């Protein structure tokens, strides 16, 4: 009888142990499966940092040396079309030893790191979201100088394109209803324009919207303005050459000054810059320059996108212009660029 109780107790202990072991194995399998399927409740923190601003992570002695000088030269190039000198990007630097905790949450980060090859790679949302990290590697300081000199414009474009998407995602959540404006309906175009823009004029052929710069991504005193219209496509080879003449005609007809004989024109003392572009998959031209009011002292920067719509034998024009005396305007124009690049032609 005693032996029977011992055997029974041993058997029961073994069964209990096996049951616990199977439970543990099942739990382990579940955890591993969840990990492999990337099912996690972990949420990245929200990134910080303004548009057109990047954090450079590199050794302080390099930042003070030739490679740092090259970064300041390439990234510090002035944005064309602005009244005051403003750089393409605002740049700050931190030594790798200080790149920790909250600094890793910056929205745009350039890491300069020693490596076997001169190359760049892009990582998204590593420490925060949305976030873009460009890793630039080179063997030595000479390699870093060459890398920034040869691929600096490419790096700038990476950060600028992501900032455009960032702004557009915000505006999509607070966009105006296109159906409110007969000009957009008649032309057959749509934009992600935020609700804080108010109507100035809507003739059916010409739309003018204005935002007073008291809030939003671009803050300050003054106004951001949007105009939209279309004109017939006559000679495609002369489109770029005629952009200034067309905008001056529109300015005289639709954008008056405070007194008779005053109206918007292209500033004669500053030649606009025109570049090839693409909007909604169509060939376009981007023009940056300065506007002024004839016989008045009002002036500011503008950005113009003239899109060749061959299907409808016309040019669709979006222009944004800013009036903000005595303050920087780069970020105001950048916001207008983001709206322009959201254009969809029906």
The torsion angles phi and psi of 225, rounded to 5 degrees, stand at -130, 145
pLDDT of 311 reads 96
Sign of CA dihedral 94, 99, 104, 109: positive
Report the chain (346 residues): mean pLDDT per 10 consecutive residues. 40 47 44 45 88 98 97 98 97 97 96 96 97 98 97 98 98 94 98 97 98 69 94 97 98 95 95 98 98 94 98 98 93 98 97
pLDDT of 15 reads 46
pLDDT of 22 reads 44
Task: Give helix 330-340 / helix 141-172 axis angle, nearest 10°.
Answer: 60
Q: How far apart are CA 101 and CA 167, in angstroms?
A: 25
Residue 134 CA: distances (Å) to CA of 124, 151, 159, 322: 9, 12, 9, 32
pLDDT of 14 reads 43
**3-state percent helix, strand, coil for the chain, nearest multiple of 5:** 40, 30, 30
pLDDT of 221 reads 66
User: Are residues 201 and 225 in contact, defined by beta-carbon separation less than 8 angstroms?
Assistant: no
pLDDT of 213 reads 86
Predicted model pTM:
0.85
What is the length of the chain? Answer: 346
pLDDT of 218 reads 57
Sign of CA dihedral 123, 128, 130, 134: negative
Q: How far apart are CA 227 and CA 10, in angstroms?
A: 87
pLDDT of 30 reads 42
Please name each of the domains of the chain with its CATH number.
Answer: 53-172 (3.40.50), 178-345 (3.40.1000.10)
Residues 6 or more apart whose CB falls under 8 angstroms from that of 280 comprise 307, 343, 344, 345
User: Are residues 211 and 217 in contact, defined by beta-carbon separation less than 8 angstroms?
Assistant: no
pLDDT of 198 reads 96
Rg for the chain, CA atoms, rounded: 29
The torsion angles phi and psi of 273, rounded to 5 degrees, stand at -105, 130
């Amino acid at each position: 009888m005693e032996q029977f109780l011992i055997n029974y107790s041993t058997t029961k202990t073994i069964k209990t142990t096996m049951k616990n072991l199977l439970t543990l194995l099942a739990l382990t399998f579940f955890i591993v499966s969840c990990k492999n399927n990337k099912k996690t409740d972990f949420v990245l923190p929200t990134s910080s940092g303004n548009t057109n601003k990047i954090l450079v992570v590199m050794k302080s002695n390099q930042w003070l040396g030739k490679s740092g000088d090259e970064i300041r030269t390439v990234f510090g190039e002035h944005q064309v079309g602005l009244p005051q000198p403003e750089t393409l990007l605002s740049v700050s630097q931190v030594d790798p030893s200080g790149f920790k905790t909250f600094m890793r949450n910056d929205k745009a980060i350039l890491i300069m790191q020693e490596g076997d090859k001169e190359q760049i790679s892009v990582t998204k949302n590593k420490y925060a979201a949305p976030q873009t990290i460009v890793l630039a590697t080179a063997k030595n300081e000479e390699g870093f100088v060459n890398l920034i000199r040869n691929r600096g414009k490419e790096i700038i474009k990476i950060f600028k394109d992501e900032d455009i998407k960032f702004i557009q995602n915000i505006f999509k959540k607070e966009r105006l209803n296109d159906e409110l404006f007969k000009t957009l309906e008649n032309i057959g175009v749509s934009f992600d324009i935020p609700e804080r823009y108010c109507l100035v004029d809507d003739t059916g052929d010409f739309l003018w919207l204005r935002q007073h710069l008291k809030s939003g991504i671009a803050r300050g005193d003054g106004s951001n303005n949007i105009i939209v219209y279309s004109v017939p496509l006559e000679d495609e080879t002369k489109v770029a050459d005629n952009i200034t003449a067309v905008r001056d005609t529109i300015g005289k007809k639709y954008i008056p000054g405070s007194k008779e004989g005053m109206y918007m024109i292209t500033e004669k003392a500053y030649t606009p810059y025109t570049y090839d572009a693409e909007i909604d998959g169509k060939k376009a031209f981007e023009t940056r320059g300065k506007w002024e009011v004839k016989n008045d002292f009002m002036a500011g920067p503008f950005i113009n996108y003239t899109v060749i719509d061959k299907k409808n034998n016309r040019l669709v024009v979006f222009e944004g212009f800013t009036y903000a005396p005595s303050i920087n305007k780069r970020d105001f124009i950048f916001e207008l660029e983001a709206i322009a690049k959201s254009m969809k032609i029906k």
